[in-house]
Amino acid sequence: MILILFSKPEFEYDIHSLVKAFYADEEIRMFYTCDPSEVQEQNVACTHHEAGPELDGLKKEAQAILSVDYGQKTTLSWNEHTVTCEAPSDRSAHKNHVKQALYELLSKATGRTLPWGTLTGIRPTKIPMKLLEEGHNEEEIRTYMRETYCATPEKIDLSIEIAKRERNLLATIDYDRGYSLYIGIPFCPSTCLYCSFTSYPLKAWRNEVDHYLDALEKEIDFTAEHFANRPLNSIYIGGGTPTTLEPHQLHRLIAKIKQSFDLSHCVEFTVEAGRPDSITFEKLQTLHELGIDRISVNPQTMKQATLDLIGRHHTVEQTIESFHLARKAGIGNINMDLIIGLPSETLDDVRHTMEVVTDLHPDNITVHSLAVKRAARLTIYKDYYKDMEMVNTEEHMDLCESYCRKIGLDPYYLYRQKGMAGNMENVGYASHGKAGVYNILIMEEKQTIIALGAGATTKFVLPEKNPNGTQRIERVENVKDVRNYLDRIDEMIARKANRMRDLGIEM
């Protein structure tokens, strides 16, 4: 257990995230040592605690104690080591100084560095993107990211390359005025070991699918009416597993979308087919006939023993067959998702997966680092899986990159998540002209995303900035539970309408 003591509320999330990046398997307990009156209730991130037997006991139990004392300068102490940094009035600069000082302490304590340095946020490409937009050249960006965030040259170059590619693609889209549409299908053939998304086994919910489509159609009607004067740039049907729908249900949903919206500005319509055990030639034909130009066929790994372990009820052969069926049906842009860091997989297993996948020549490969969330079975039953290593390193990611580049796929988007194996990242690779537009729009938070379905979160990207200079984004969430969603669909629509009215969004 690691104990963190704050002299006042400041940068708790950032400090916790950086400590967790170095000590992924350790429990972290955080306390304020200041007077409780100094902490605003809505900002409480830690436990108030006065010196006493309980805290004394925790101090004895802790593997390490980090003290963060804020004053004219900020002092950080890690066990017997102490470092002091400036505390400028600019909050962003102060935060960077604190994280640099903490990074120095933790690097010395562990003998390790992190590929992304002090960057703990999920969108590191936002930094070079902003600097490019301000007119900085690549060398200036490299210097800034090295000195400010301690990132490695390889990660800096990757983020700059992706930011440039994203910027070129975004220049072709009227993203300021437009919006994108996400539609969630929460049903799956089964729940994967690592998954924390809202998903429901189709076997138990099959009789409710048409009712779910009824509810979606209500949301579609509302969105089409209230966004009729804005261009719709991209559509993404995700999940769950959208191809758990039968062909006639897929036809019903997509035909409804095409009837309801003006698609003359829509540059991409994606259906995440996903699980090979849900894909049939008839479904693929239906998608192609309806004009769907991009799908995903997601193996995650090409090692059968791992597929069995993580609850993917399909074979390696089914994945390969599904890919060939998609090509036969006329689908011209196919993505394949892979996960690095799955239980007990070695570097040789990853190499085998990359060889099999690249032999198929997909148009996109998305390389995910395993990120285990609290709601995943892999976390809930962690004692059962404790002897299984989940390893991801720069060597793993470099191997994947080299295989992708060999078949002409270049990196085009990148994001990170909490709890990633090896503190790595997710990277999307694509052939020329086949990059996933929706992925860029949602990751760079450049455009409003209207999200429909159970558990879907709408993000309104507003023209004004937050006080700290970041883009103002307001979220509206649908309830996660499918039964609740069906029963409260009118309330979900009213929730969006009321929020739009409050934000002054034209209706």
Using the structure block, give the residue that is written with the tokens 């919206």: 261
Shared-domain flag, residues 62 and 131? no
**pLDDT for the residue numbered 161:** 98
The verdict on residue 119 lying in a domain is no
The verdict on residue 423 lying in a domain is yes
Shared-domain flag, residues 356 and 472? yes
The verdict on residue 287 lying in a domain is yes
**What is the domain extent for residue 106?**
2-110
- Residue 409 and residue 435: Cα distance in Å, rounded? 9
The verdict on residue 505 lying in a domain is no
The verdict on residue 252 lying in a domain is yes
The residue type at 208? E
Contacts of 435 (CB under 8 A, 6+ apart): 165, 169, 364, 412, 413, 428
Shared-domain flag, residues 134 and 188? no
**pLDDT for the residue numbered 376:** 43
Shared-domain flag, residues 323 and 350? yes
User: What does pLDDT average to in each consecutive run of 10 residues of the chain (507 residues)?
Assistant: 92 93 90 80 64 75 93 94 94 95 96 93 91 97 97 96 96 94 90 58 86 98 97 95 96 98 97 92 98 95 92 91 98 96 93 98 95 48 50 90 98 84 86 96 93 97 85 95 96 97 85
**Residue 352 burial by Cβ neighbours in a 10 Å radius (0-12, 13-18, 19+):** middle
Q: Give the residue from 153, 169, 185 where a domain finishes.
A: 169
**pLDDT for the residue numbered 220:** 99
The verdict on residue 116 lying in a domain is no
Angle formed by the axes of helices 153-170 and 138-149, nearest 10°: 130
Shared-domain flag, residues 165 and 234? no
Shared-domain flag, residues 299 and 343? yes
Shared-domain flag, residues 96 and 192? no
Angle formed by the axes of helices 347-360 and 316-329, nearest 10°: 20
Shared-domain flag, residues 252 and 136? no
Shared-domain flag, residues 357 and 422? yes
Measured CA to CA in angstroms, residue 254 lies from 17, 237, 275, 296, 397 at distances of: 41, 9, 19, 17, 36
**pLDDT for the residue numbered 381:** 40
Shared-domain flag, residues 160 and 259? no
Shared-domain flag, residues 284 and 297? yes
> Domain holding 255: CATH number?
3.20.20.70
The verdict on residue 498 lying in a domain is no
Neighbours of 255 (CB within 10 A): 11
**pLDDT for the residue numbered 48:** 65
The residue type at 298? N
Shared-domain flag, residues 46 and 153? no
**pLDDT for the residue numbered 37:** 75
Which has the closest alpha carbon to 453: 262, 287, 257?
257
What is the number of domains present in the chain? Answer: 3
The model carries a pTM of 0.90
The verdict on residue 118 lying in a domain is no
